[in-house]
Amino acid sequence: MTPNPQPIPGRDLVGQPVDRVDGLAKVTGTALYTAEHGLPGLTHAVLVTSTIASGRIVTIHTAQAEKMRGVLLVMTHLNAPRLAEKGQAGVVPPAGRILNLLQDGQVLYNNQPVALVVADSLEHAQDAARAVRIVYAAARAELDFNQAKAACYAPKKARDQAADSARGDDSAGWNSASCGVDVIYRTPMEHHNPMEPHATIAHWEGDQRDQRDQLTLYDSTQNVSGVRATVAMRFGLPPGNVRVICPFVGGGFGSKGSAWSHVVLAAMASRQVGRPVKPVLERSQMFGMVGYRPLTEQHLRLGAAADGRLTAMRHDVIANTSCMEDWMEPAALITRMLYRSDSQETSHRLARLNIGTPTFTRGPGITSGSFALECAMDELAYVAKLDPIAFRLRNEADRDPGNGLPWSSKALRQCYAAGAERFGWAGRDPLPRSMRDGHLLVGWGMASATYPAHRSPASARVSILPDGLALVQSGTHDLGTGTYTVMSQIAAEALGLPLAKVRFELGDTRLPVAPGAGGSQSVASVGPAVQAAALAAREKLLALAQADPESPLYSAGPEEMILEAGWLFRKSSPQRREGVAALLARHGGLSLEATRDSRSGAEREAFSMHSFGAVFAEVHVDPELGIITVPRLVGAYGVGRLMNRKTGHSQLMGGMVWGLGMALLEKTEMDPRTGRAVNANLADYHVPTNADIHAIDIIVVDENDPHINSLGAKGIGEIGAVGVAAAIGNAVFHATGKRIRDLPITLDQLI
């Protein structure tokens, strides 16, 4: 398919700050989230999780729990149905992972599922779950990252790239440098903590003996198709026998991109009791079995010539994974592509710990890697006595240094300029501890931001109904990001209908297939399919009118036919018009339907596709108490064509808030003796609140990408979080003269 944007008929809706079309349903409580779906005979399930990090179950006592009021099933490794392959997901992550499905008594991490109690009420299930008694034979658990990294190893891949990379002669580049930095940065383990906990409702219908049984899953997921594939494989079912439904998601941030153990366990239990089964994970359980951002140790060595040109870059990453499978946080990928350097080496290594498997977390790899790279660049700018922006401009890459391809578009220079002007960067005194506001130390810092512009195959269906309304469908998701609204805008503009006459449906495997909502790819993938299907349906409608003697468009040429705001008329005689419903009524209440697929083409091999941005931060630091506040953040972004200025602004702001939390607050504290998170709740796991957030100023620069897709749209869900922690870290150095290289930056590090 051609990647060049096509002219879109009808009103200009795309890009407008349209209110969320699902907003009313959410504020009135009519938007049903997974745990809110009611089914006849619904039962409640509670997971029992391990209290050791390594070992095996010697005995598990369930007799008391089984006799308790309302209990229908206590499922353990002793009575759980045997499944085809022990633990294997059968689907490439993120859709599938190694699962803990009660197939044996082995324990590999604390908070691992070891039993599932099903009862007629939540209270009865909780009470019985507390009555399950387990005797373990504990084994040595590896919980010390510093010890584990001594046996670190290379993964097969760092996401979709080689684990290691090299170009030029790093040693020669380092030796020829006039100045350099050799530093280690660390980022901690972080958990997603969406407001909506992970939840599933599993319901079987039919007879499993003749393979006609149907499984319906209501699941809080970012990937209905991935869940279907994983669950179908686990039960040996054709994918068509599994339906997954998820119309609304109360936050995911990557944690809901995989089919985790509780999803399959719910289906196993439902088949056992013959009724729908609903487990909802407790907040503390979400710190065990549904992923997190792994901790990283990142060693950077950067060298520069006297003129500030980079001569050497080395970025070595060690991250933790679980004892079940390899999961790599590819933090060095950003270093491969962001700046020009004749020599560069990167590596990724894994250290195994007896902790659950990590997963995607907002801006995976890039967010954690940008903290280390952008702080190291700031350090080198100080050593080279260059302004941090000037230093970055001197090393800006006009092509992707990692693969040599030209950019599909790049507005990074414009982002530097727009952000610096809005922030007032020219007024910065570069000397640390030189700026004050009363007794408070003031620091200004900045960092670059980038994120790959992903796109995957997607399909959409558009039906123009007899009443003149349009139904648009695709099996994508809305995580609160505005997908319902943006897809409605795209379809309405392409169809020439008012936005109020377009309804978008998503979150169901019975709809046309779309990729999981991750990697900032939903709009870039599904949007072109929606646009193509809407244009095809529109063409069918115009052809019908053109062939109808009673239509004002009868025998009109293509250049004369107008469909705008739901009205059909000729350009030369707009006063004679008719509505879409009237035309369809004359043809027996006809419905017109079109389904179209969208996928990338040869342009993916010809261009490197990324979004770019620049982040500026001001911090105030109390010199006696070390307390840090962030009175303002400015972010400037080049993200192609923005689909909705209001929801886009919201996403970018949310990302920047996330980055502030990463810089100053977020850290999962693991007990080194037990491997269990000690702050596994929203009281002790610190995330930003309203009191932590002050002025956030967001600029979206004009950028035309003629290659990314027919809409010119790049993803924005993750780039807002990239670079914020580094900008704040650099501002803290500017304010205090202390370089903090371990996140989060806390007051004890500054006193």
Judge contact between 47 and 281, C-beta under 8 A. yes
Is pLDDT at 273 greater than 70 in this prediction? yes
pLDDT surpasses 50 at 1:
no
Nearest to 678 by CA among 288, 352, 281, 199: 288
Task: Please name which of 348, 194, 163, 317 lies closest in space to residue 257, comparing C-alpha atoms.
Answer: 194
Cα separation, 460 vs 442, whole angstroms: 51
The pLDDT, as a whole number, for residue 84 is: 73
- Is residue 715 a contact partner of residue 519, using CB atoms and an 8 Å limit? yes
What pLDDT, on a 0 to 100 scale, did the predictor assign at position 377?
Answer: 98
Q: Please answer whether residues 514 and 526 qualify as being in contact, where contact means their C-beta atoms are separated by less than 8 angstroms.
A: yes
Q: What is the mean pLDDT of the chain?
A: 95
Note whether 646 and 17 are within 8 A (CB). yes
For residue 301, list its beta bridge partners: 182, 314
pLDDT in tens, 522-558: 999 999 999 999 999 999 999 999 999 999 999 999 9
Token reading at 248: 């609304």
Residue 118 host element (H or E): strand 113-119
Cβ atoms of 663 and 693 closer than 8 Å: no
* pLDDT level of residue 97 (50, 70, 90 thresholds): confident
Alpha helices in 210-260 (DSSP H): 224-235
For residues 548 and 561, the answer to whether their CB atoms sit within 8 Å is no
- Tens-digit pLDDT profile for residues 660-677: 999 999 999 999 999 999
**Residue 175 host element (H or E):** helix 170-175
What six digits make up the tokens of 23? Answer: 């907003």
Bridge partner residues of 60 (DSSP): 134
Predicted confidence (pLDDT) at residue 207 exceeds the cutoff of 80: no
Which candidate, 635, 639, 654, places its Cα nearest to that of 728? 635
Neighbouring CB atoms inside 10 A of 426's CB total 8
Which pLDDT score, from 0 to 100, does residue 93 have?
A: 61
d(CA 692, CA 664): 10
Question: 201 and 34 in contact (C-beta within 8 Å)?
Answer: yes
User: What pLDDT, in 10s, does the model give residues 380-404?
Assistant: 999 999 999 999 999 999 999 999 9
Q: What is the pLDDT of residues 430-477, one digit of tens each?
A: 999 999 999 999 999 999 999 999 999 999 999 999 999 999 999 999
- In the numeric block, which tokens belong to residue 690? 């309203």
Residue owning tokens 């062939």: 547
**Dihedral sign computed on CA atoms, order 728, 732, 733, 735:** positive
Average pLDDT over residues 21-50: 97
User: 37 CB contacts (<8 Å, ≥6 apart)?
Assistant: 201, 218, 245
Burial tier of 550 (Cβ tally within 10 Å: 0-12, 13-18, 19+): exposed
Give per-residue pLDDT as tens, 644-659: 999 999 999 999 999 9
- Residue 4 pLDDT: 43
Mean pLDDT of the region 568-584? 96
Over residues 83-101, mean pLDDT: 68
What is the residue whose two structure tokens read 């619904």? 42
DSSP 59-76: EEE-HHHHTSTTEEEEE-
Judge contact between 479 and 222, C-beta under 8 A.
Answer: yes
Cβ-in-10-Å burial (0-12, 13-18, 19+) of 32 comes to middle
Is 718 a residue of the active site?
Answer: yes
Domains of the chain by range and CATH? 23-31+456-599 (3.30.365.10), 365-454+603-751 (3.30.365.10)
pLDDT-derived band at 5, boundaries 50, 70, 90: very low
Contacts of 582 (CB under 8 A, 6+ apart): none
pLDDT, residue 501, reads 97
pLDDT tops 70 at residue 585: yes
The 10s digit of each residue's pLDDT in 229-258 is 999 999 999 999 999 999 999 999 999 999
When pLDDT is cut at 50, 70 and 90, the band that residue 331 belongs to is very high
Task: Name residues whose C-beta falls within 8 Å of residue 637's C-beta, 6 or more positions apart in sequence.
Answer: 415, 449, 611, 612, 613, 652, 698, 699, 700, 701, 716, 719, 720
Q: Are the C-beta atoms of residues 613 and 718 closer than 8 Å to each other?
A: no
| Rounded Cα–Cα distance for residues 190 and 184 (Å) | 19
CA 315 to chain centre: 24
Helix, strand, coil distribution of the chain in percent, nearest 5: 30, 25, 45
